[in-house]
Amino acid sequence: MKKGVLIMVLILSTCALFASGGKEEAQSTEDVPFASREVTLQLVMEGNAEQQEWMQDLKKDFNKEYPNIKIDDIWLPMGEGGWGAYFTKIKTMVASGNSPDVVRVAVEGFQVLHESNLALPLNSYIEEYPQYVENYEDIHPRLQEACVIDGDIYGFGWDWNNIVTHINLDMLEEAGLPFPDADWGKDQFLQYAKALTGMKDGQMTYGVYIPNIYFSIEAWLYNFGAAVLSDDMTKGALSTPESIEAFTFMHDLVYTHKVAPVPAPGDQFIPFMTNRQVAMTFGGRWPVPSYVDAGLNFDIQYVPTFRTNEVIFGVGMFPVMTSSKYPEEAYVLSSWLSGRHSQNTYLNSFSIPSRISVMDEVLPANPPENSTLYRLSADTARVVQSPSKYPEVQQVVDRMFNRMMSDPNADVKAILASADDELNEVLAR
């Protein structure tokens, strides 16, 4: 089915819902042969203990509507390897003959599944059973685009994150600095980083913790007019003049300006913020619960306009695996998990809902004060580069970055050229 026709089917089903007074009528099971079949689906997720608890509540709510579809949730720890390691674990499950039915993936792994023919196009199910898709038009269109390849829909946008600047407001006030405007640039950012660096109560505090994970590193590259890969994602682009400028600036922040600590792998910027060791850092909405628990007085602003301003985003979805023995039920679960109730319940604090209506409810009601920035940035954001070789690409970038940032005398240009050679080898396989 063509994408335009499919979307029309979804719009018509939505209009029918509104015509009935906005209340969903009981679904007839006469033409749904799988409606009463007893099955158990394996759902792979990642998340902490609190998120696992929320999922148990969601499972109970799902089973109130679909008592015949049981869910066996499997949690894979992400660890320092990030999304790349998580997707590798999923591929290992498939190779061992223990393939799940539905997986929670970020866009970074979508191409990994698609290239390996592990994700099932849902178009035929949407066409035959549109009643299971809740208001497709409510999913932000730019975010949903990342779930579609050549008109085939592989999932529905569930959660998303971007990269913005996180700022400790108390430290800003102590330094006598006003909150920066949305269009602040490189010079003002460096001025702030210097003013926010110094000794306090016998402890060194830094102005900034520089990006140290693939997602946030590429967010900075976008704002320098650069990227990890070429636009078609077929070769490395780390040694372009714009990229060299970006990484030289990061290195200088640590070793020349001395306004940033040497970055450690993973999300180590979060404890640096909660312990008041740094005044600014870069992340999405996922660190917010940690900030709130620590009583941090903070707000968010766009990443500085170093050369341009282009917000990065990554979106999560629930693809159905091609190996599923119960693709219809898996489609029902994937659709239900993308709905308003799921997003309101699970994504209230640590991630950004992909549905416009839920964003408009959840974001203004929760910290930080400038949280509507998340919603506004979705309209123009650019998706993180996510090639089918993403796990290997991430490993190359991680090694390059750690090598560069651990050496005060690093030859930035040479390291980036070497990393491009590695990327080209990976992408050519």
Give the per-residue pLDDT at 78. Answer: 78
Percent pLDDT > 70 in the chain is 92
What does the alpha-carbon distance between residue 107 and residue 204 come to, in Å, rounded to a whole number?
A: 38
Give the per-residue pLDDT at 298. Answer: 98
The whole model's pTM is what? Answer: 0.89
Provide CB contacts within 8 A for 157, sequence distance 6+: 139, 140, 143, 144, 146, 147, 315, 316, 317, 338, 354, 355
DSSP summary character for residue 27: P
Average the pLDDT over 332-340 and give the result. Answer: 97
Q: Is the pLDDT of residue 344 over 90?
A: yes
């949407």: which residue's tokens?
126
Q: 344 — phi, psi (to 5°)?
A: -65, -40
Give tens-digit pLDDT for 195-211. 999 998 889 999 999 99
Give the per-residue pLDDT at 268. Answer: 83
Do residues 355 and 401 both lie within one domain? no
Please give the residue range of the domain that contains residue 86: 3-10+36-161+314-365
What does the alpha-carbon distance between residue 153 and residue 144 come to, in Å, rounded to a whole number?
A: 9
Do residues 321 and 353 both lie within one domain? yes
Cα–Cα separations (whole angstroms), residue 68 to 12, 95, 99, 118, 339: 28, 28, 21, 25, 19
13 compared with 137, residue with greater pLDDT = 137
The angle subtended at Cα 156 by Cα 286 and Cα 102, nearest 5°, is 85
Do residues 222 and 288 both lie within one domain? yes
Mean model confidence pLDDT for the chain: 91
Give tens-digit pLDDT for 95-134. 888 899 999 999 988 888 898 899 999 999 999 999 999 9
Give the per-residue pLDDT at 48. Answer: 84
Average the pLDDT over 306-317 and give the result. Answer: 97
Q: Is residue 361 part of a domain?
A: yes
The DSSP annotation for 172-211 comes to HHHTT-PPPPTT-BHHHHHHHHHHT-EEETTEEEEEE---
Average the pLDDT over 249-259 and give the result. Answer: 98
Do residues 135 and 212 both lie within one domain? no
The one-letter amino acid at 118: L
SS3 39: strand
Do residues 221 and 348 both lie within one domain? no
Instruction: Kindly state the tokens that stand for 354.
Output: 């992909």
Give the per-residue pLDDT at 31. Answer: 64
Q: Which own/partner pairs from 106-109 qualify as long-range (CB within 8 Å, at least 24 positions apart)? A: 106/314, 106/315, 106/316, 107/146, 107/147, 107/314, 107/315, 107/316, 107/317, 107/383, 107/384, 107/386, 108/83, 108/84, 108/214, 108/215, 108/314, 108/384, 108/386, 108/390, 108/394, 109/83, 109/386, 109/390
Give the per-residue pLDDT at 108. Answer: 87
CB 384 within 8 A of CB 313: yes
Q: Is the pLDDT of residue 28 over 90?
A: no
CB 316 within 8 A of CB 83: no
Q: Is the pLDDT of residue 10 over 80?
A: no
Q: Is residue 28 part of a domain?
A: no
Q: How many structural domains is the chain composed of?
A: 2
Do residues 255 and 394 both lie within one domain? yes
Give the per-residue pLDDT at 14. Answer: 45
Give the per-residue pLDDT at 16. Answer: 41
Cα torsion through 43, 44, 49, 55, rounded to 10: -30
Do residues 108 and 209 both lie within one domain? no
What does the alpha-carbon distance between residue 30 and residue 324 come to, in Å, rounded to a whole number?
A: 24
CB 162 within 8 A of CB 352: yes
Q: Is residue 376 part of a domain?
A: no
Do residues 303 and 321 both lie within one domain? no
- Domain harbouring 223, CATH code: 3.40.190.10
CB 343 within 8 A of CB 156: no
Q: Is the pLDDT of residue 34 over 90?
A: no
266 compared with 119, residue with greater pLDDT = 119
Q: Is residue 100 part of a domain?
A: yes
Q: Is residue 346 part of a domain?
A: yes
Do residues 275 and 416 both lie within one domain? yes
CB 229 within 8 A of CB 312: no
Q: 75 — phi, psi (to 5°)?
A: -110, 125
Do residues 141 and 93 both lie within one domain? yes
Q: Is residue 24 part of a domain?
A: no
Average the pLDDT over 250-278 and give the result. Answer: 93
Give the per-residue pLDDT at 27. Answer: 47
Give the per-residue pLDDT at 19. Answer: 40
Average the pLDDT over 219-233 and give the result. Answer: 98
Query: Residue 50's pLDDT band (boundaries 50, 70, 90)?
Result: confident
Average the pLDDT over 244-271 and give the result. Answer: 93
Q: Is the pLDDT of residue 249 over 50?
A: yes
CB 283 within 8 A of CB 289: no
Q: Is residue 371 part of a domain?
A: no
Give the per-residue pLDDT at 3. Answer: 47
Q: Is residue 112 part of a domain?
A: yes
Instruction: Kindly state the tokens that stand for 24.
Output: 């969903």
Do residues 264 and 337 both lie within one domain? no
Percent pLDDT > 90 in the chain is 78
Highest mean pLDDT among 4-8, 80-84, 283-287: 283-287
Do residues 200 and 145 both lie within one domain? no
Q: Is the pLDDT of residue 154 over 70?
A: yes
Give tens-digit pLDDT for 161-194. 999 999 999 999 999 999 999 999 999 999 999 9
Q: Is the pLDDT of residue 4 over 80?
A: no
Q: Is the pLDDT of residue 389 over 70?
A: yes
β-bridge pairing 312-317 and 159-162: antiparallel
Query: Residue 265's pLDDT band (boundaries 50, 70, 90)?
Result: confident
What does the alpha-carbon distance between residue 64 and residue 244 come to, in Å, rounded to a whole number?
A: 55
Give the per-residue pLDDT at 267. Answer: 64
